Structure 1
Amino acid sequence: MPATMKAAVIHAPGGPEVLKLEERPVPRPSAGEVLIRIEAFGLNRSELFTRQGLSPDVMFPRILGIEAVGVVEEAPGGEFAKGDVVATVMGGMGRSFDGGYAQYTVVPARQVQAFRTELPWETLGALPEMLQTAWGSLFRSLQLKPGDRLLIRGGTTSVGMAAAAIAKRHGAEVGATTRRADREQLLRDCGADRVFVDDGAIADRVRHEWNGGADKVLELVGTSSLRDSLRCTREPALVCMTGMVGNKWSIDDFSPMEWIPTAVGLTCYDGGVGDFMAMPMQQLVDDVAAGALHVQVGRVFKLDEIVEAHQAMEDNTAGGKIVVRTW
């Protein structure tokens, strides 16, 4: 094992160019921790917000990255064997301690899942946070059941496409939105039964075409479309606010009595380590390998292309999950 590693370090907030590739010492694990040789990681919008200085609790310099996949190099407590293929997410990664934008990372063993697969690293790098967010939103927050009508607002996001596939496998009837009509087949390939081209006001159309509306709505666009998403339902219903692709965090002049229809519940999902560890990682990886769970990898970058990767995320030009290879 080398004494040093490559890492993308941020010393102060700003644009993509503030991510600097540096040589750093390989971190050393203590009992209860795992040293992972990172093979790949996915990019997440929360990392974009942190890079922009919108995470006030994050101190710089910092190695960002809330997820990673790779192999175990050391586990002093014996929780894992050297060479185990593992994934890790959240738990302070890239925020309170250095995260996945590097060739090695040390994380608590309690936030690591091992699994077996022959999938390539480019695919595996897209999975942990995306699947954790989709799974937790559907089953913890929305309490999805077979036969439910699920509308995914922001269907062409990586989480949206994963959620469509998972929900379809679970027996739900899936509707998904896109702003571009030419993406309809992509959403249908992921499991959508219905596709709604989104002009920002689709509630009347959804209720008319879908016999009254959806039972559950997964809101991935954010506050800009939340009011309309609440109106896409038939009672009783649940709407889960999970994503903020629209980059707007708060609602101006929010009036609950005007916004929330009778008998429609509004919740959110902000998953953590417990949700990741409760997720059936092996089953989901097997579903991906079997072609039963569609994963849309957008673009794959190398670690020394991290600036370009962040620019692609900021510009929404990847067409799926952005993955970075570290070696």
Structure 2
Amino acid sequence: MAETLPSRMKAVAIAEPGGPRVLKVEKRPLPQPGQGEILIKVRAAGVNRPDVLQRKGAYPPPPGASDLPGLEVSGIVAAVGEGVQRWRIGAEVCALTPGGGYAEYVAVHESQALPIPHGFTFTEAAALPETFFTVWHNVFERGGLKPGETLLVHGGSSGIGTTAIQLATVLGSKVIATAGSAEKCAACTKLGAVRAVNYRTEDFVAAVKEETGGKGVEVILDMVGGDYVGRNYQAAAVDGRIVQIATQAGAVASADFARLMVKRLTHTGSTLRPRTIEIKAAIAAALEANAWPLLAERRIAPVMDMIFPLKDAWRAHERMEEGEHIGKIVLDVE
């Protein structure tokens, strides 16, 4: 028998655009699952860079989405809306959300939820959706990375980076990563990168050329932008693909388009949050077929940095902005 649900829940809201301390615990009405949606009793929620941007007022939620931050959760299905076919009350799931994850309950479309891999804790499971959806779509679908090719991952010690290194390596590609300290570089090589470049002391273009015998890399996953755009064109192989997923060093850059033409480069990019339910459902299905068996066998796993209680979400944001984290920061909602 399903438990009686409360009418209100605890949530962490953005009181006003600003620093980490604008994140405030408040009471909110319980979300109601709509057509095709499930209500998840949240056990843990992942913290991601877009949450920080939203807190600062720079990344508004898409139309119809919750104004609460939080793009990924794990938990237990507490209620189902009309037309839900896959999930039953009591199922343990992790899910991608368009917002609303920093709360005790969140409603998501059933197609955005995946089973928690065998043996995973709720906090580990909450570290999966955002990074795995992002990496799978951008590296393997948009970037078309194939076994035997080399991937350059910028920000290799981030949640996205640690996921990309593991997935690409286990699926038969070589990975070169960039990171900002010796400790972070060591974490990248431990995960399977054949080389980790400390971008503070070493030129990644020269390192890539050395590692690939002058050929360059077939795929580049870039979250930096700015002057990395032109340098990525230098580091890329002929017919290389560069995939932009963020622009932490600036969204405007100058680039040598002659190099792009001569090398026949493809420079593409994407954002995940505003994509349609159907597109996210297709990514979820691809992940369940290709990545979830690897997780169940523990051939890959999320790298966990720190776990904070929900009420201390502001501390989690401080941790992310300090830039010292390796892997995923998660909120424990229990």
TM-score by length of 2: 0.87
Checking the alignment, whether the CA contact within 8 Å between 1:85 and 1:115 is kept in structure 2 is yes
Deviations 1:107-165 (A, max 9, x none): 23343333452311121111110111111111111101111011112211111111111
Stretch deviating more after TM superposition (311-320 or 14-23) = 311-320
The partner residue of 2:304 within 273, 297, 300 is 297
> Following the alignment from structure 1 to structure 2, what is the Cα–Cα distance between the partners of residues 167 and 51?
32
Q: Which residue of 1 aligns with 2:159?
A: 158
Alignment partner of 1:6 is 2:10? yes
Change (3 A) 1:219 1:268: same
Q: Which residue of 1 aligns with 2:127?
A: 126
Change (3 A) 1:256 1:316: same
The partner residue of 1:62 within 46, 67, 78 is 67
Change (3 A) 1:258 1:50: same
Q: Which residue of 2 aligns with 1:74?
A: 79
Deviations 1:199-245 (A, max 9, x none): 3732133213321221111113333422212211221211111234x
Change (3 A) 1:194 1:317: closer
Change (3 A) 1:72 1:294: closer
| Alpha-carbon shift at residue 317 of structure 1 (Å) | 2.6
Checking the alignment, whether the CA contact within 8 Å between 1:40 and 1:121 is kept in structure 2 is yes
The partner residue of 1:31 within 30, 35, 47 is 35
Checking the alignment, whether the CA contact within 8 Å between 1:158 and 1:320 is kept in structure 2 is yes
Stretch deviating more after TM superposition (156-165 or 195-204) = 195-204
Stretch deviating more after TM superposition (260-269 or 36-45) = 260-269
Q: What is the one-letter code of the residue matched to 1:143?
A: G
Q: Which residue of 1 aligns with 2:208?
A: 206
Mind listing any 5+ residue stretches in structure 2 that lack a counterpart?
none
Change (3 A) 1:242 1:57: closer
> Following the alignment from structure 2 to structure 1, what is the Cα–Cα distance between the partners of residues 310 and 262?
47
Deviations 1:72-116 (A, max 9, x none): 1111324220011222224xx22xxxx101000112334333345
Q: Which residue of 2 aligns with 1:139?
A: 140
Q: Which residue of 2 aligns with 1:170?
A: 171
Alignment of 1:1-327 (within 5 A): 1-55=5-59, 62-77=67-82, 78-79=84-85, 80-90=87-97, 93-94=98-99, 99-199=100-200, 201-212=203-214, 213-244=216-247, 247-254=248-255, 256-257=257-258, 262-271=263-272, 272=275, 273=277, 274-275=279-280, 276-281=283-288, 284-327=291-334
> Following the alignment from structure 2 to structure 1, what is the Cα–Cα distance between the partners of residues 164 and 269?
15
| Alpha-carbon shift at residue 257 of structure 1 (Å) | 3.5
Checking the alignment, whether the CA contact within 8 Å between 2:40 and 2:79 is kept in structure 1 is yes
| Alpha-carbon shift at residue 253 of structure 1 (Å) | 4.3
Stretch deviating more after TM superposition (57-66 or 159-168) = 57-66
Stretch deviating more after TM superposition (260-269 or 209-218) = 260-269
Change (3 A) 1:268 1:261: farther
Mind listing any 5+ residue stretches in structure 1 that lack a counterpart?
none
Q: What is the one-letter code of the residue matched to 1:225?
A: Y
Change (3 A) 1:75 1:175: same
Q: What is the one-letter code of the residue matched to 1:227?
A: G
Identity of aligned residues (%): 28
SS of aligned partner of 2:177: strand
> Following the alignment from structure 1 to structure 2, what is the Cα–Cα distance between the partners of residues 17 and 107?
27
Stretch deviating more after TM superposition (142-151 or 75-84) = 75-84
Checking the alignment, whether the CA contact within 8 Å between 1:238 and 1:266 is kept in structure 2 is yes
> Following the alignment from structure 2 to structure 1, what is the Cα–Cα distance between the partners of residues 242 and 66?
38
> Following the alignment from structure 2 to structure 1, what is the Cα–Cα distance between the partners of residues 34 and 180?
48
